[in-house]
């Protein structure tokens, strides 16, 4: 059985990620989505548990996709999971250099793990979680870029953050 690992931070999962993982699930018997558990708190908008839950909900209709958190080196996690393939998504030209460097470094650590890059669909070429968060924060439309449950989680989290920043500033505000 060929097991593939699709690793990332998925903060939050977008339709670009979902397109890649669905296509990978047709190529490999099992796909493990590895959600990177950041060592430093506060570097992601969502906690690891939230990121895992959102991805799980989005792929609950595909039985050969498993979503699990992981810490440490991605290739080591791949080996532990019995994954001989690591799937990555490539957008336009922006991802190539970084992915190429990572693949070379990973090959040096775990030569048995092969990297398979899938080209992003045209409509998601310019979609990234970080840009999505920026647009959502400024009130832009993101409904066509993420599943509905991610859109509401994102809106709720950003409102909560804005409220806490507002209440923190209020005492010092002078008009």
153: nearest Cα among 13, 8, 23, 16: 13
Q: How many residues bind ligand ADP (CB under 6 A)?
A: 16
Residue selected from 4, 10, 44, 48 as contacting ligand ADP according to rule CB under 6 A? 10
**Piece of 37-45, 52-60, 127-135, 162-170 that binds ligand ADP (CB under 6 A):** 127-135
Please state the length of the chain: 175
16 is a site residue for ligand ADP (CB under 6 A): yes
In whole angstroms, the minimum distance from the beta carbon of 82 to ligand ADP comes to 21
* Cα(169)–Cα(156) distance, integer angstroms: 20
- Assigned token pair, 11: 């903060």
74 is a site residue for ligand ADP (CB under 6 A): no
In whole angstroms, the minimum distance from the beta carbon of 4 to ligand ADP comes to 12
Other C-beta atoms lying within 10 Å of the C-beta of residue 165:
10
* Cα(171)–Cα(137) distance, integer angstroms: 24
- Contact mark string toward ligand ADP, 86..115, x via CB under 6 A: --xx-x---x--------------------
Residue selected from 20, 32, 33, 45 as contacting ligand ADP according to rule CB under 6 A? 20
129 is a site residue for ligand ADP (CB under 6 A): yes
* Cα(167)–Cα(165) distance, integer angstroms: 6
Alpha-helix residue ranges (DSSP H) falling in 11-147:
15-27, 48-58, 74-80, 96-109, 129-137
Q: Which positions touch ligand ADP (CB under 6 A)?
A: 8-10, 14, 16-17, 20, 88-89, 91, 95, 120, 124, 127-129
């Amino acid at each position: 059985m060929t097991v593939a690992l699709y690793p990332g931070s998925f903060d939050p999962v977008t339709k670009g990620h979902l397109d890649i993982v669905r296509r990978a699930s047709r190529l490999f018997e099992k796909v493990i989505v590895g959600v990177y558990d950041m060592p430093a708190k506060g570097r992601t908008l969502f906690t690891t548990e939230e990121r895992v839950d959102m991805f799980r909900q989005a792929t609950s209709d595909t039985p050969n996709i498993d979503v699990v958190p992981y810490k440490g080196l991605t290739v080591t996690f791949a080996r532990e999971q019995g994954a001989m393939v690591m799937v990555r998504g490539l957008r336009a030209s922006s991802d190539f250099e970084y992915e190429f460097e990572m693949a070379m470094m990973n090959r040096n650590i775990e030569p048995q793990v092969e990297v398979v890059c899938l080209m992003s669909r045209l409509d998601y070429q310019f979609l990234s979680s970080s840009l999505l968060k920026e647009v959502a924060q400024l009130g832009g439309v993101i409904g066509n870029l993420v599943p509905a449950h991610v859109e509401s989680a994102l809106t709720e989290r950003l409102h909560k953050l804005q409220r806490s920043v507002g209440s923190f500033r209020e005492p010092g505000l002078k008009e």
